[in-house]
Amino acid sequence: MPKPTEEAMDTDTFNMSLRKFLKQVGVTSQQAIEAHVRDSGVDSGSLTARVVLTIDGQEFEHVVTGRIDLG
């Protein structure tokens, strides 16, 4: 139960805002990786990428590592 001075989180607003943020992260990250591959001249093999997500003012860090195959 929220404290009297706190407002309850609106789950729908939170989910919509989170999805918008994640879409922005996905789209801009894809564009940045595509530009890097194009500009660097790398055209075969694979790249190992890592994303580090933090939240300002919170003790939170989430790391995602993966491989991007170039063909």
pLDDT tens, position by position, 47-71: 999 999 999 999 999 999 999 999 8
* pLDDT value of residue 36: 97
* pLDDT value of residue 8: 87
| C-beta neighbour count of 55 within 10 angstroms | 9
Give the 3-state secondary structure of residue 66.
Answer: strand
* pLDDT value of residue 1: 57
**CA-based torsion, 11, 62, 55, 16: positive or negative:** negative
pLDDT tens, position by position, 5-40: 567 889 999 999 999 999 999 999 999 999 999 999
Each domain of the chain, given as residue ranges in start order, spans 11-69
pTM: 0.80
Characterize 23-34 residue by residue with b for buried, 16 or more Cβ atoms within 10 angstroms of its Cβ, and e for exposed: eeeeeeeeeeee
